[in-house]
Amino acid sequence: MVLAGRTEMNKITKLIAVASLAVLAAGAAEARSLRIAPGAPPVHPAADPLYKTFAIFLPEETNGELDGTLIGPEVVSVTQTKEALQSSLAEVANLLPLFVPGDLPNTVLTADLAFLATTPHAMGAAMTEYVVTCEECQAEFKQMGGVFVGAGSSDVYVLITTKPVNTLADLQGLRLRSGGAPYARWAEAVGAAPAQIPVNDTFESMSQGVIDGTMASVGDLISYRLVDIAKYIIEVPLGTYHTTSNFTVANTTWAELSPEQREGLARAANRSSALFTENWGYERAVQARQIAVDNGMEILIPGQDVLDATNAFRTADLEAAVSIAESQLGVTGAAEKIERFRDLVEKWTGIIEETGNDTDAIAARVQQEVWDKVDWTTYGL
């Protein structure tokens, strides 16, 4: 009888286990899997850690109701993000507003303040708060077909070249890839020739001699394997690339989510954005410089004439930012908007001085200062 009882108990235990697994499977089946697109190769920080951690945090922050299926850049590249969102090929994607300035002029005006760069974390947080609280920005995203859910920032850009740059004369006619208008204006101001080339095409363009270098994050040496063809890092500070929309949700997808799911998605995105900026803005820059040295690249500090010309451009371009926003982007009230962004940069610079580079603390402050103030029943709709 004892053996029979134990056998019966084992059967019951197995049945309970099977039933539990069935319940879990049913729950998993009910989770909505969103198509998420970093638009970048696996070694780029937009892929890892940004979207890789987002895929982990999303089910955590939505009680398992949402998860993500990664779509590679061979399906949706960063230059195809807008169309992918509009067609719902991608439901959450990494959008670079500088690629669609006509759609997002009030957001893009922040790019003309790239040379304000203080610290990457401050720039990413300031960008996030600016867009979330900018009515015109929100309207533009809606018209384009997406919902903004956070930004991040690169390290301070430098030159990565196949030719040495020691003086201003060395920059004359140098063909440099530009990632956006402010970098192109700097290149023209110092006598170089900017080229609008997608970042994914940088390696091929440099290897074929189409361009002599790029104005970019030093992390591109790793992300796009430029270390295999570049010979020099020129330490001229070119500001941060912070005009980003790390997580842009397709309008149709956003409307189908419950307010609680939207809030959870934003929490997950916020956590990932802090990790992204820490990686892109700090960790990867250190790693890239070491890899450059290990591979025989030279790190050059340019002459004072290059630094003076860059500082002169920084001042003049900030003064010109208002007219550029109004005449080229069609933004109204540009002076006030630019001043508000500058105030946010100052605010977040102070906050980052308090938190240091503790990504949990930074994410908590952005959550408190920005996302906790959002009405999830109306935001993005």
Distance between start and end Cα atoms, the chain: 66
Q: Are residues 44 and 112 in the same domain?
A: yes
Gap between the Cα atoms of 136 and 361, Å rounded: 30
Q: Is residue 10 part of a domain?
A: no
CA dihedral in degrees (23, 29, 31, 34; nearest 10)?
A: 160
Q: Are residues 94 and 44 in the same domain?
A: yes
Q: Which long-range contacts (CB under 8 A, 24 or more apart) does 95-100 make?
A: 95/146, 95/244, 95/245, 95/248, 96/243, 96/244, 96/245, 97/243, 97/244, 97/245, 98/179, 98/180, 98/181, 98/243, 100/144
pLDDT value for 199: 85
Cα angle for residues 286, 174, 43 (degrees, 5° grid): 35
Q: Is residue 321 part of a domain?
A: no
Gap between the Cα atoms of 149 and 247, Å rounded: 5
Q: Is residue 348 part of a domain?
A: yes
Gap between the Cα atoms of 83 and 249, Å rounded: 12
Q: Is residue 307 part of a domain?
A: yes
pLDDT value for 223: 86
Q: Are residues 91 and 179 in the same domain?
A: no
Q: Are residues 82 and 44 in the same domain?
A: yes
Q: Are residues 115 and 212 in the same domain?
A: no
Which whole-number Å values give the CA distances from 21 to 30, 46, 181, 220, 355, in the listed order? 14, 35, 55, 45, 43
pLDDT value for 1: 33
Q: Is residue 268 part of a domain?
A: yes
User: What is the span of the domain harbouring residue 132?
Assistant: 32-153+244-287+342-373
Cβ–Cβ under 8 Å, residues 59 and 67: yes
pLDDT value for 65: 98
For the entire predicted model, the pTM comes to: 0.83
Q: Are residues 307 and 257 in the same domain?
A: no
Q: Is residue 378 part of a domain?
A: no
Q: Are residues 136 and 250 in the same domain?
A: yes
Phi-psi region of 145 (alpha: psi -120 to 50; beta: other; left: phi over 0): left
pLDDT value for 118: 74
Structure tokens at 242: 């912070």
Q: Print pLDDT tens along the chain (381 aa).
A: 333 343 333 433 343 343 343 334 444 457 899 999 999 989 899 999 999 999 999 999 999 999 999 999 999 999 999 999 999 999 999 999 988 999 999 999 998 888 887 799 999 999 999 999 999 999 999 999 999 999 999 999 999 999 999 999 999 999 999 977 788 989 999 999 999 888 889 999 999 999 999 999 999 999 899 999 999 999 999 989 999 999 999 999 999 999 999 999 999 999 999 999 999 999 999 999 999 999 999 999 999 999 999 999 988 887 778 888 898 889 999 999 999 999 999 999 999 999 999 999 999 999 999 999 999 999 999
- CB under 8 Å to 13, separation ≥6 — which residues? none
Residue 112: closest CA among 318, 295, 337:
318
pLDDT value for 137: 98
Which whole-number Å values give the CA distances from 196 to 127, 186, 239, in the listed order? 24, 14, 18
Question: Domain with 201 in it: what CATH number?
Answer: 3.40.190.10
Q: Are residues 179 and 36 in the same domain?
A: no
In sign, the C-alpha dihedral spanning 316, 319, 323, 324 is positive
Q: Are residues 267 and 305 in the same domain?
A: no
Per the structure, how many domains does the chain have?
A: 2
Q: Is residue 328 part of a domain?
A: no
Question: Domain with 355 in it: what CATH number?
Answer: 3.40.190.170
pLDDT value for 117: 77
Q: Are residues 275 and 140 in the same domain?
A: yes
pLDDT value for 4: 36
Pairing of strands 158-161, 232-234: antiparallel
Q: Is residue 16 part of a domain?
A: no
Sheet holding 175-178, edge to edge: 193-196, 175-178, 213-216, 158-161, 232-234, 298-300
pLDDT value for 271: 98
Q: Are residues 223 and 140 in the same domain?
A: no
Q: Which neighbouring-strand residues pair with 248?
A: 93, 148
Q: Are residues 64 and 197 in the same domain?
A: no
